[in-house]
A and B are shown apart, each in its own frame.
Chain A
Amino acid sequence: MPVDVEEYYRRYGPMVLRRCRSLLKREELAVDAMQDTFVQVLRHLEQLEGTAPSSLLYRIATNVCLNRIRTQRRHPEDADDDLLGRIAALDESEPRVLARNLIDRLFARDPVSTREIALLHLVDGLTLEEVAGEVGLSVSGVRKRLRPLKDRLAGLAGV
């Protein structure tokens, strides 16, 4: 399926860049993550079904940014204990079976990652119901995924 990248960016680029800006804080990093988001879209075109893709793009951008944040945190000079950083690191302690490429999982409609749920609820401020609607889980399912995080994210405001 041919895609007009320029038109795709014109429509969704601002939303994606705003998402990257909000998570990465630095303009050059955000622009880079935005471009990577669209690269991921190009590489998974066959999985796009022609439906409104804003939600999927938003989630891809979120995961691209979380990967960047997690990479930063591997370096001691960036090891600040902010909530976003802790959430970004969550998947490192998830079972190995969940550790394969998050972007591939998104396109494959695999179960959402715990860190994405945590981000939507704890950083973006979505209610449990809104998170459930966004990621395709039940409210109880979202609550169940968040419950074990309390210890790992303990000590941070709002957790």
Chain B
Amino acid sequence: MSAVGLLGVSPELQRNLWLELTPIRLIAAPLVLFVLLGGVGSVFGAEAAARVAVLLLWTLLSLWGSRLAAESFGEEATGRTWDVQRLSAQSAWGLTLGKLIGGTAYVWYGALISAAILLMLGAETVGDMLGAATLAGLTAQSTAFFTVLLLHRFDDRAPRAHTTFAQIVGIVAGWNSHVLALPAQIRTMAGVHTIDWYGFEFPADSFFTMLQIAAILWLVFGAMRIIRRELGFQDGPFGWTLYTLYTLVMVGGFVSDALGSQIATGGLATLPVIAFGVQSLLGVAAFALTYLAAFGTPVSRIALVKLRAAAIARDWRGVWRNLPAWVPSAVAAMVAAIFLSLRLASSAVPEPSAATPIAALGFLARDLGLIVGLRLAYRRRTAVTLLVTFLFLYALLPALLARPSGGTLLPLFYPGRGASPVGLVLPWLEAFAVWFFGWRRSAPRGVAAVY
């Protein structure tokens, strides 16, 4: 396809290809790689050359690839061309894929050459190595791209720092997926080689690879949703709602007695928290998603003003469009907590009590109030403020007060496992105080939105 032809299909992809695949770079990459690997091969032998080729693959796709993926947006923000793109007619998908594929085209070109050399060297398990490096590269790049976009939503004044941070996050994500050390160790320890998911048996490695591919696709989808918002589309927390549903459905597959017995055959079943965790996986997932969404999305004063105005006007479409992303997950958490509470109430197990999930819900409501309130009150360094606040609430204060009070004050800080009414009421009192006083102090007011 000619350059003009590709421009018609994806202007952003063609622009990135113009910048990335210049004639000099196209010639330089094979030259450097052949000289390097040829040199290593002639001095240290084919096996050493194969090892270097694998290292090169990882370096290109994960280390450099994550940088290029983050730069594909970061450079637009730095060069202030992003506003120009926002004014264009390009679609969110066009911009997302154009940047992600086009911006990293050069490392994939280099990786292809490295892979060809690896194949020529005839290294054993070359397919596995290529697959692992490719998956790691894709994970690193999509993570870095998503992260740089997410950071831009919080603060559009530090694109260079964001690019570097996003690259680091991408490398860590890629490395984790490449080595798969932790999950593999846990599986070996627990003796889990197959996964029971909704009653179907899957080989563990294939299952986790599929989950990883799904994670990559979700990261790309998340990046597209952020770009879509930047382009001016206001269609509410649709993307996060989908992701919440996906996670709950995916996690729901593990909520079975089969997994419990699998764990029991390993060495971890003696930990009661694991047993409880398996029973309440859906609830834990919904709580985790709510915290993730609350910490991971900025609080928009404008959206809150419009949300209030829409609610007063009973404009439900307007309410949905301005709804914070954590709300759908919080609703799921609420449903899960009530369900779990009812289940615990009808079970013979003394601990945790039926009050525990409801108390946990109270702490969630309090924490959401704190996050929203602090983000509205402090414009800058909100991440540090939130970190300090939550360390204080969940670590420092309980540690200071646990011993002197003999543990009686702990229900102030954690959902208790017993059925004490104090343990149930305290978190909800805290939540009420935070929302009532925090909202009175920080809520945007004074202007009614015009529709």
Asked if chains A and B come from one complex, the reply is no
Seen from chain B, the residues whose Cβ lies within 8 Å of a Cβ on chain A are none
Seen from chain A, the residues whose Cβ lies within 8 Å of a Cβ on chain B are none
